[in-house]
Amino acid sequence: MNLKYCTCLCFLVASWLHVSAQDESLQQLADSYAAEYLAYVSKHAVIFSGVEQQSLPYVTRNHSYFNKQTFQSGRLSYNGVIYPEVLLRWDLYKDELIIFSPAISSLVLKKENVDYVEINGYHIFPLDTDSLPGCPAAGYYSLLHSGNCMVIERKNATLQWNDEDGLRNYYFTFSSTFYLRKDGVYHKIKNKNSLLKHMATHRKDLNRLIRSYGLRFKTNAETIIVGVVKEYEKLMCQ
């Protein structure tokens, strides 16, 4: 179904509201289109509100979406209602969650109405700035761990360009920023030392754990941070 079809449907319904109840043929036609439309969008009809996604004014070598450019099936909680299977994608450049809409294809969800999204094994939620010290900027974050400590990740896509043969080429580079919320304070985690300094009581044990991974922090930050925080919580309970 396309936008033209939906426009036609809305026109028919609007026309039906202004005609005599005796015009049964027009009423039946409007009812038929309405039933077909609702059957097509099914459970997604409730959440299709927002603005149409705007494309960039130039072509880029790669895309700015999380994992894949195509829509992927995910679990969405929207205004307290859970939709177990919707088609979504996350634009890391504009920090937008986009849902597939039968009417206009790509619809940007209103951030204030999104509770969370689960896609590709990640729990993505909108974070609002609060009064806690060190709170990062508002936006969508991945929840990597939630216990006595919380670990969240901000994924970013940055637009870059270079000039080759007189032509400007645009492309995206990607980065992640990790935050540890501990004892009511957010801490930015840049490296191993910035992680361990917040867990000084068990620094030696945790340092041995990191060495046992045999991984570089720069390229495996998520695995190391989550593993260390979980171990720290276990040690604190002993």
Average pLDDT score over residue span 45-56: 72
Average pLDDT over the chain reads 84
Residue 14 confidence (pLDDT): 38
Q: Pick the more confident residue, 2 or 81.
A: 81
Per DSSP bridges, beta strands 167-182 and 139-146 are unpaired
Say which DSSP state 5 is in: H
What are the boundaries of each domain within the chain?
3-47, 50-189, 190-238
The beta-carbon contacts of 217-223 under 8 Å, at least 24 apart in sequence, are: 217/191, 217/192, 218/191, 221/176, 221/178, 221/189, 222/144, 222/153, 222/176, 222/178
Task: Give 85's Cβ-side CA count (13 Å radius).
Answer: 2
Span of 11-15, 73-77, 187-191, 200-204 with lowest mean pLDDT:
11-15
Q: Pick the more confident residue, 51 or 35.
A: 51
Give the model confidence (pLDDT) of 143-173 as tens digits: 999 999 999 999 999 999 999 888 899 999 9
Residue 50 confidence (pLDDT): 72
Residue 129 confidence (pLDDT): 85
Percent of the chain with pLDDT over 70: 79
Residue 238 confidence (pLDDT): 81
> Does the pLDDT at position 3 exceed 70?
no
Span of 50-54, 90-94, 203-207 with lowest mean pLDDT:
50-54
Q: Confirm whether pTM is higher than 0.75.
A: yes
Listed residue (149, 209, 230) closest to 183, CA to CA: 149
Span of 16-25, 41-50, 54-63, 228-237 with lowest mean pLDDT:
16-25
